[in-house]
Amino acid sequence: MSLRRRVLFVGDSITEGFGGLTSYGGFRAKLLSLRKTNGLPWRCGGGTTNMISGENRYCGGTGLTISQIDALLAIDGAQWGYDTVIAHVGTNDATQRNTGGTPTLATSQANLTTMLDRIRTQQPNARVFFALIIPNTTAGADTLITAQNSAFSTQIAARSDASLITIVDHNAAFKANANWSTEWMADATHPNNTGYATMATTWDTALTAAGW
């Protein structure tokens, strides 16, 4: 039987649940409902409380890049004990890159290393479930997301703590549906309620496979 975990959701507006109904709460609320143990949800930490009631805390915020999320993790991770991290990060890195902004892919990779190292320093035994992020309906941004997902996957596999990091391929889960862009998205970047439900199921499958 699954244990009651101390969870830190880490991410930007997709982790917040932007694009879905406020009452729906993005993938977090749906996932929490799937992961109840004896009627009790996970205990969630983080300095941000948006979109859902109850276990509504997460680490991050709308529009943030990996480096900006890591800056919040330095605060939240020290304040909130956790044994599980559920991270969907890098969307704003890729979309800003697509419009001529920064960071570069190499910088995003360096910032990811900093973030993952911070998690390992804060909680040496924490299990990280790391998303290959969902696609984007803007072709240029989606090309950059595909390249970034591939680079991050290779980068994580080479880490000394790779055995404690589970890669969860949300991109493939979306693209398995030929109509994902019209059926599962609220706009170019954010899922609708059905898309968030798909994300929750994808997380839940990975968590179950890992014995979580």
| Range of weakest confidence among 9-18, 52-61, 97-106, 175-184 | 52-61
When the pLDDT of each residue in the chain is averaged and rounded to a whole number, the result is: 92
Segment 38-64 mean pLDDT: 81
**Rg of the Cα atoms in the chain:** 16
Where do the structural domains in the chain lie, given as residue ranges?
6-138+163-209
Q: Which residues contact 189 (CB under 8 A, 6 or more apart)?
A: 13, 14, 19, 91, 95, 136, 137, 141
pLDDT of residue 1: 41
Segment 31-59 mean pLDDT: 79
Q: Which CATH superfamily is domain 6-138+163-209 in?
A: SGNH hydrolase (3.40.50.1110)
Higher pLDDT, 30 or 146: 146
Angle, CA of 164, 165 and 169, to the nearest 5°: 155
pLDDT of residue 20: 78
pLDDT of residue 173: 98
Higher pLDDT, 164 or 21: 164
Does pLDDT of 2 surpass 60? no
Q: What's the CA gap between 34 and 164, in Å, rounded?
A: 22
Question: H or E stretch including 86?
Answer: strand 84-88
pLDDT of residue 22: 65
What is the pTM for the complete model shown? 0.94
Q: What is the DSSP string of 148-188?
A: HHHHHHHHHHTSTTGGGEEEEEHHHHHHTSTTHHHHSBSSS
Q: What is the DSSP string of 102-158?
A: S--HHHHHHHHHHHHHHHHHH-TT-EEEEEEPPP-SSHHHHHHHHHHHHHHHHHHHT
pLDDT, one tens digit per residue, over 76-133 is: 999 998 999 999 999 999 999 999 999 999 999 999 999 999 999 999 999 999 999 9
Give the 3-state secondary structure of 32-45. HHHCCECCECCEEE
